[in-house]
Structure 1
Amino acid sequence: MMIFTLLGLLVKIMLIILLVIIVILLLILIIPFNYRISAVLKEKANIYLHLNWAFFEVELWLEDLKPFVKVRIFKRVLINEPLKKSLRKKPKPVKKTRKSNFKMPGMTFFKEILNFAKEVLNVLKPKKISAFGTYGLDDPVNTALVSFLIQLFSELVPHAHIGLDPVFDSEMTDVEINISGKIRLAVLVYIFIKYLLKREVRQVVFRKRINTET
């Protein structure tokens, strides 16, 4: 009897743990991620990324190409240190040449992928965009080209607030950029599954490939 009681208790604990995991996954899918990107471009580039989901926060600074990260849960700091990259180069493994029966997908597949990319970008697009300051490149022609591209971007994204003034007689950069928005993982998962179930995409993704080593 004692064994059955312990087994029953173990099953209940496992069911509770499974239920908690399912609830957490559902919350991750339903509750949106808020993100904010700020960049100050002067003599040195300083970029700041803030990602917030419910009680979870990630902050990433990039000052003069030196990354620094901070991670918090329930306002408690778990990680607060610079990111270090290994300077040692790992030897690349020697790859054996292989022959594959892979065939280039048709145009229908690429059209579906293009539509998929458009929907994903529509979900990821920021709600607020602002950019202010002055800029000037080493060549006035390049400055004029950048000015044209900025004007084109302002017309394509009417909700963006762009106040960038070109300087043609000197090379300088004094620009501040702010971008913010929301990401809903449930929508991204739905889009991914929708396209994955399409016959044109499924036939390419799940197609078996036979490789022969030489």
Structure 2
Amino acid sequence: MLAILDYKAGNQTSVLRALRSLGIPAEITADPAAIFAAEGVIFPGVGAAGQAMAQLTSTGMDTVLREAVAMRKPLLGICLGCQILLDRSEENDAVTLGILPGVCRRFQPEWQDGGRPIRIPHMGWNSLRLKQESPLFDGIAPDAQFYFVHSYYTDPAPELVIASCEYGREFTAAYGRPGLWAVQFHPEKSGRPGLRLLENFYRCCQEASHV
């Protein structure tokens, strides 16, 4: 079973619906025992970094997440969950979880896309450029597109970058290390490629649980 972290930050239900469509057992939970017992954890979210961090710390979910990572529990951060795994966010000038090194930065309106200033938020379908192999992208076509909605982008340590995307400049679309991944796009809203990514994550969780 996968645990979808419940910290009142949006898109948990859409993630659960996508997993159920794949036949993957999952539940939305804020119960530490259920999170520690799960095969893996999905850390989703939409909204502002400062508000999300306030909710995590007030409920103790920040500690639960760190403990799950220390236990080598596979984890997938999505959108806001991807951003606040890093050290700091320029949004609300927030100190974030610091589970992986890096900063979340704001898109700049003077950046150009096709000769015109970019629109913020970055919203729509974009293809990725893989920087290193990852089991998350097994069986996904190189030209597959994923759905993005965000005004801030992640800038993790370079060795963590798995895939990038172009919007005014190249930015990180997926990063992490074995067993701990984060994606800026919404796999649960990205059609077949996104569903395949969720399947790949679950397969990694199952493999880790049998080690």
Q: If the length of structure 1 is used for normalisation, what is the TM-score?
A: 0.19
Of Structure 1 and Structure 2, the greater helix share is in 1
Specify the structure having the higher radius of gyration (Cα): 1
